[in-house]
Structure 1
């Protein structure tokens, strides 16, 4: 028997029922007709969590979908990772709540990781480490975010982009060569202020002052309690970092783009993805874009894109994909994976 290695065994996702389409947004932002929003973002509609619906709720339903559609036995799950930036509570960790709610064994480890657009790949790296160190055999990786709850309804800069959603991935032990990796991970916290919710933590607690709304030069309204994104700075960071990270990853794997079936980036928006594709010279037939009816679901964009492309037949079991996330932090993460 060979050494224990990691593979992605199954992926599922869940979206809230309510949706927000571009016609509705055009009523709020009349200077941006629905077609203009579609042309700029590649998004036609996005799913929005209900007022009483949390990231924990979305993650729970994604996990149930994974279990039922793949006939996974609950007692086999021995570690749970939840990636979210909108946890149900400051404490306890939402992963602990989900362990009990899902009926996973009490011998199951559980933790949250607070990371956004690169978080799915970081979660895969942690799962691979647990499995290949011989610590665990079946890791349930959940991603879930409800950024809509952090967005001012009159902030066009982010409301047109982000949707809510969750994914569930089973990373399982196997014998023989690993079907997951290598990984390239990185951080540049100097960009932290360019994608941030300034208030609500211990540095700047919620207060009457933090709730005061202001309007920026572009007409976007928000308070310090809500999400701020400097789109120009994020774009510059992405165009500089992603091509370099992709080169590093291919070099680490000893492969070229010709060896890869699919390239799946964090699904930020159509404009950014197309700029990256052209700059890196990725053939369109290899490049997966799946955000038109879901929007930017933060940590869930990559697994949702995989699942949707698999359902449409574009991705087949056993295909090799280059996965790369980038954004809030700043942070970035890339890996190669054989897809389920």
Structure 2
């Protein structure tokens, strides 16, 4: 009997503090930085984002999203065999945010837990790892989480980047199944593009060396993202023996509405088939895809039996896609 991996529950969580573009513009004005709701919306499609409180970490957001996903799947935390957290903003240098999350969930069964660092592609990477672990028989029930507090690494003197990002978490429970669930995936990386999107600082001798703030060449990222996302999507469809016409929903990384629109056009998909949450969430990096997936499931957009294509691109440069049957 063939063993498949299938998503059985989704969950998400956004910190309570919501900042509209006008709210953010007012805060930036106090720093002498000029921006506006019109300027942000025109370039990104973002209207608002959520920021976590100073004492709230990625593991705290992950905890709430995980509880929602576990409840939706109808299982308890003690039933898990593996925890994978995708994050670029971990609670600590070590241990992993996944290990911290395991403790906060009260899990005492000794299941393995680790982080995946692929920035905005992190959830796609983590979901692919979960699929492989389940198919190999190494795990039966896996919690996969994307969680970020990107507000901690933003340079609020740079209006081209600080208006883009938000905090949040999304989670899924993936279980072994006799029915196909995760149909195919395609992952890539190219380290030669490291400089166009990065946080180049690191800790040494008790000090931060280099800049601990996000830096990005927006035009270079846009140009690269549009091309690689189409290729990853088509490669994934080819592996599954499907075509563009078989996609019921596209859930891309929620970075910029223009990138999402361009990708949809290349895949010949109307925007009515694209799940869009960037307007309210901003770019939540590894959390953006599971946040959007949970939003679409709970709103009744994504239905059981439908084909859903997830795709992401992020610093590294990393990119990839996963095709699901819900």
Question: Shorter-normalised TM-score: what interval?
Answer: over 0.9
Counterpart in 1 of 2:182?
A: 180
Counterpart in 2 of 1:189?
A: 191
How big is the shift at 1:205?
5.7
How big is the shift at 1:290?
1.6
- Tell me if structure 1 keeps the 8 A contact 2:153–2:213: yes
Equivalent runs, 1:51-62 vs 2, <5 Å: 51-62=54-65
How many equivalent pairs are there? 322
Counterpart in 1 of 2:169?
A: 166
Counterpart in 2 of 1:233?
A: 220
Matching residue within 262, 267, 271 for 1:284: 271
RMSD: 1.9
Matching residue within 314, 318, 323 for 2:310: 323
Counterpart in 2 of 1:84?
A: 87
- Tell me if structure 1 keeps the 8 A contact 2:244–2:268: no
Equivalent runs, 1:257-276 vs 2, <5 Å: 257-276=244-263
How big is the shift at 1:46?
0.2
Counterpart in 2 of 1:156?
A: 159
Superposition TM-score, scaled by structure 1 size: 0.90
Deviation readout 1:265-285 (Å, 9 max, x if unpaired): 111111221222234432222
Describe the shift of the 1:289–1:203 C-alpha distance in structure 2 as closer, same or farther (beyond 3 A).
Answer: farther
Describe the shift of the 1:31–1:75 C-alpha distance in structure 2 as closer, same or farther (beyond 3 A).
Answer: closer
- Tell me if structure 1 keeps the 8 A contact 2:44–2:258: yes
Q: Distance in 2 between matches of 1:117 and 1:252?
A: 23
Q: Distance in 1 between matches of 2:274 and 2:74?
A: 30
Consecutive unaligned residues in structure 1, runs of 5 or more: 211-223
- Tell me if structure 2 keeps the 8 A contact 1:290–1:309: no
Counterpart in 2 of 1:206?
A: 208
- Tell me if structure 2 keeps the 8 A contact 1:78–1:105: no
How big is the shift at 1:93?
1.6
Deviation readout 1:238-268 (Å, 9 max, x if unpaired): 1221122222122222111111111111111
Q: Distance in 2 between matches of 1:74 and 1:56?
A: 15
How big is the shift at 1:201?
4.5
- Tell me if structure 1 keeps the 8 A contact 2:197–2:315: yes
Counterpart in 2 of 1:97?
A: 100
Matching residue within 36, 40, 65 for 1:37: 40
How big is the shift at 1:322?
1.1
How big is the shift at 1:309?
1.7
Say whether 1:337 aligns with 2:318.
no
- Tell me if structure 2 keeps the 8 A contact 1:77–1:105: no
How big is the shift at 1:69?
4.2
Q: Distance in 1 between matches of 2:109 and 2:299?
A: 37
Q: Distance in 1 between matches of 2:167 and 2:111?
A: 27
Counterpart in 2 of 1:256?
A: 243
- Tell me if structure 2 keeps the 8 A contact 1:78–1:108: yes
- Tell me if structure 2 keeps the 8 A contact 1:163–1:295: yes
- Tell me if structure 1 keeps the 8 A contact 2:184–2:240: yes
Partner SS, residue 329 of structure 1: coil
Consecutive unaligned residues in structure 2, runs of 5 or more: none
Partner SS, residue 263 of structure 1: strand
